[in-house]
């Protein structure tokens, strides 16, 4: 009787070697081998990728790292949004999970990892997405088009159009930049016209022709 039990257990163990169990829950890709193929221990039968939850790795400038670390040290769940390639559609909401332990000296950036629940499977492995990290919301600030912003080793500046159709160079303090818009902490007032085109040909006192764009803010500083 005991001998029979031992035989059954041995068969069950051997049968277990004929089954492959995945260590994670995910989606199975196309099989790498077909029925009848000779398989070695080093061969990959298929690839399994985890979809829920899913993570995104993206980079931010090293100057923004202190703010990221401060938020995470305060146990704040830093929100991260995933957008499509041209920022025309938001795909998912997630949160910052962790960040890398060193800065890439070739790019001056640091890698961050964000996690998304991905319940609707809108995110897919190796998909190209744009990550938008929200560290702070600036209220009551002046916005200008980012193309008007000029940078030197001494700081930022722009050209403001005077009532007599000439330009004046204005030193400014930048509060933040997001895509086509720049928030100004000091140096320009709402309603002032700023130059966005032909900046390489300008000098203080140069005469200009104002051509307003219909989109706002095109060349005028506005209050947010």
Residue-level pLDDT, tens digit, the chain, 224 residues: 777 787 888 888 888 777 777 788 888 888 888 888 888 878 888 888 889 999 999 998 888 888 888 888 777 788 999 999 988 999 999 999 999 999 999 999 999 999 999 999 999 999 999 999 887 777 888 888 888 888 888 888 899 988 888 888 899 888 887 778 888 888 888 888 888 888 878 788 888 777 776 555 555 555 44
Q: How far apart are CA 66 and CA 73, in angstroms?
A: 10
Position 219 scores a pLDDT of 57
For residues 130 and 84, the answer to whether their CB atoms sit within 8 Å is yes
Q: How far apart are CA 218 and CA 211, in angstroms?
A: 10
For residue 157, the SS3 value is: strand
For residue 39, the SS3 value is: coil
Report which DSSP code applies to 138: -
Q: How far apart are CA 224 and CA 137, in angstroms?
A: 11
Nearest to 49 by CA among 97, 118, 111: 118
Cα distances (Å, whole numbers) of residue 56 to 64, 91, 97: 18, 12, 10
Nearest to 135 by CA among 36, 68, 49, 41: 68
Report which DSSP code applies to 62: G
Same fold across 54-133 and 142-223? no
Query: What architecture is domain 142-223?
Result: Beta Barrel (2.40)
Structure tokens at 170: 């204005």
Position 224 scores a pLDDT of 44
Report which DSSP code applies to 99: E
The model's pTM: 0.62
Q: How far apart are CA 131 and CA 183, in angstroms?
A: 20
Residue with tokens 């809108």: 122
Position 204 scores a pLDDT of 84
Q: What is the CATH number of domain 54-133?
A: 2.40.30.170
Position 151 scores a pLDDT of 85
Name beta bridge partners: 55.
115
Residue with tokens 């000091």: 186
Report the chain's terminal Cα–Cα distance, integer Å.
Answer: 84
Domain ranges of the chain: 2-49, 54-133, 142-223
């Amino acid at each position: 009787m005991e001998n029979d039990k031992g035989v059954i257990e041995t068969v069950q163990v051997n049968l277990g070697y004929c089954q492959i169990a995945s260590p994670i829950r995910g989606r199975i890709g196309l099989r790498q081998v077909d029925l009848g193929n000779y398989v070695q221990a080093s061969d990959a039968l298929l690839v399994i990728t985890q979809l829920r939850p899913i993570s995104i790795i993206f980079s931010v400038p090293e100057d923004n790292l202190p703010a990221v670390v401060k938020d995470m040290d305060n146990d704040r769940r830093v929100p991260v949004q995933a957008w499509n390639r041209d920022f025309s559609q938001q795909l998912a909401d997630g949160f910052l999970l962790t960040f890398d332990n060193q800065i890439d000296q070739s790019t001056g950036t640091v890698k961050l990892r964000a996690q998304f629940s991905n319940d609707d499977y809108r995110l897919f492995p190796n998909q190209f997405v744009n990550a938008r990290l929200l560290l702070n919301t600036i209220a009551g600030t002046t916005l200008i088009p980012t193309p008007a912003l000029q940078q030197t080793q001494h700081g930022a500046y722009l050209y403001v159009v005077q009532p007599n159709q000439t330009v004046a160079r204005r030193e400014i303090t930048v509060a933040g930049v997001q895509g086509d818009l720049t928030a100004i902490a000091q140096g320009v007032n709402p309603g002032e016209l700023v130059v966005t085109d032909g900046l390489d040909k300008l000098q203080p006192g140069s005469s200009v022709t104002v051509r307003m764009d219909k989109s706002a803010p095109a060349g005028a500083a506005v209050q947010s």
